[in-house]
């Protein structure tokens, strides 16, 4: 499972010109679900997102996490993160999870985030043509990836 996180002062998602989610200061995370991902990989990615230290302390060093600051979390599904881009001029999507699996894991991750994070938790709309707006602070952006466990004997 992939999370491309960006530290923001604000972020929002609209669909067909209508707002569907917004947060103030916190993290906007584009989330890609890959084949083989499970609730365990979704939980691990969420754990890392909540604990990843990307916010400045009193000395301006990135020593504080989203859990420490209580900032907002905006999760936005983005299957293109799972694209294969190593060759050719067109991305392939064979690594992306099937839509039903991806939706279920994103719904699971969202429910877990709402129960585990004290700050505001919002989400984009799965399968929609979304317009995402953000003000990236820093800019600070990181790619986090949690690989599914290797099957026994494989």
**Can you point out the beta strands (E) in the chain?**
2-15, 18-23, 26-32, 53-56, 62-65, 72-77, 121-123, 130-145
Catalytic member of 80, 84, 85, 93? 80
- C-alpha to C-alpha distance for 3 and 54, rounded to whole angstroms: 14
**Number of neighbouring beta carbons within 10 Å of residue 49:** 24
Catalytic member of 6, 41, 78, 122? 78
Judge contact between 32 and 78, C-beta under 8 A: yes
**Number of neighbouring beta carbons within 10 Å of residue 94:** 9
Asked if 41 is an active-site residue, the reply is: no
Q: For 107, how many CA atoms within 13 A lie in the half-sphere containing its CB?
A: 8
Catalytic member of 6, 41, 55, 79? 79
Asked if 142 is an active-site residue, the reply is: no
Asked if 80 is an active-site residue, the reply is: yes
Q: Which of 127, 136, 111 is nearest to 29 (CA)?
A: 136
Residues with active-site annotation: 78-80
């Amino acid at each position: 499972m992939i999370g491309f996180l960006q530290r923001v002062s604000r972020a929002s998602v609209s669909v067909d010109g209508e707002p569907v989610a917004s947060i103030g200061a916190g993290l906007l995370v584009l989330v890609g679900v890959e084949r083989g991902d499970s609730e365990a990989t979704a939980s691990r990615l969420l754990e890392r997102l909540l604990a990843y230290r990307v916010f400045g302390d009193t000395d301006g060093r990135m020593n504080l996490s989203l859990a420490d600051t209580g900032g907002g979390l905006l999760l936005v599904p983005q299957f293109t993160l799972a694209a294969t881009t190593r060759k050719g001029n067109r991305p392939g999507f064979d690594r992306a999870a099937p839509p039903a699996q991806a939706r279920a894991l994103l719904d699971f991750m969202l429910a877990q985030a709402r129960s585990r994070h004290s700050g505001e938790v919002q989400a984009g709309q799965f399968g929609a043509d979304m317009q995402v707006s953000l003000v990236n602070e820093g800019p600070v952006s990181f790619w986090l990836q949690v690989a599914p466990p290797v099957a026994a004997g494989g």
